A and B are shown apart, each in its own frame.
Chain A
Amino acid sequence: MSSMLHIVNKSPFDRNALDSCLRLAGSGSAILLIEDGVYAAVAKAAQADKITGRMGDCSFYALGPDIAARGLSDISLIDGIQVVDYEGFVDLVAEHGATQSWL
């Protein structure tokens, strides 16, 4: 069974989508932050430890175009989060099993 791809598009400050995702994503999952979900990638943000706590057993990605749109390109992101472009997004979907979008 191939590992899952979880996609989070809500701000972690506004909704609990990231919390639910981190609670239910199994070891080896890939977690992709898109749209307002990219606010979770900011290193100095208050809930950054939620992601760093799962860095050991999950891989984290954030969508570059959404980071740039929100002005976060000039800000430090959490170490270990890989920034991907739209092609990278497609690759992640292709490489993993089921995709869960945490709307």
Chain B
Amino acid sequence: MEDFDDDGPEIIKRFMYVNRRAPYGTIYALECLEVVLVAAAFDQDVSVVFVDDGVCQLKKNQDTTEIGMKNFSRTYGALDDYDVEKIYVEKESLEARGLTVDDLVIPVEVVAAAQLQVIMAQQDVVISS
């Protein structure tokens, strides 16, 4: 049996996933979360960013029982289990929506737009949703 894991030099790229949509109005948020969890299995350098309405994905205390949709907000807690530890939330987006870091379902790094520009420019691949 070939062991693919040890063949050749390991190439690690920086992948950034940019979330800009609210959680339930469209399918973007759920799809992106699933993509991140799949991608996390490939041992790359993964960052997940929440800007604009994307910050609403992380709001605590979501209860979807009355709208008949899956509440996937707890799944963000699995990012840590998959060793996705670079999770950024844009400060400006959070403030515009009347939210603070205490309103969020997982620990994140709140960064200003100017800081996020720098982090974004360092990536090899940026995937937006």
Contacts and interface: CB of A to CB of B under 8 A. Distances in A.
Contact of A36 (B24, B60, B63, B103): B24
A69 B67 contact: yes
Q: Select the residue from B25, B61, B103, B105 with max chain A CB neighbours within 10 A.
A: B25
13 contacts: A11-B56, A13-B96, A35-B24, A39-B22, A43-B98, A46-B95, A69-B67, A70-B24, A70-B62, A71-B62, A72-B59, A73-B61, A75-B103
Given A36-B24, A65-B67, 7 more contacts: A14-B22, A42-B97, A68-B66, A69-B62, A69-B69, A72-B59, A73-B61
B45 interface: no
B67 A66 contact: yes
Contacts of A66: 24, 67
A45 interface: yes
Nearest to A74: B61
A44 B60 CA distance: 16
A74 B25 CA distance: 20
Interface string A59-83: 0000011101111111100000000
Contact of B98 (A44, A65, A70, A74): A44
Nearest to B21: A14
Contacts, number: 78
A71 B63 contact: yes
Interface string A8-52: 011101100000000000000000000110010011111010000
Interface residues of B, number: 27
Nearest to A47: B96
Interface of B: 21-25, 52-53, 56, 59-67, 69, 71, 73, 95-99, 103, 105
Contacts of B69: 69
Contacts of A9: 25
A70 B60 contact: no
A68 B97 contact: no
Given A13-B96, A13-B97, A73-B63, A39 B56 contact: yes
Given A65-B67, A73-B61, A73-B63, A46 B97 contact: yes
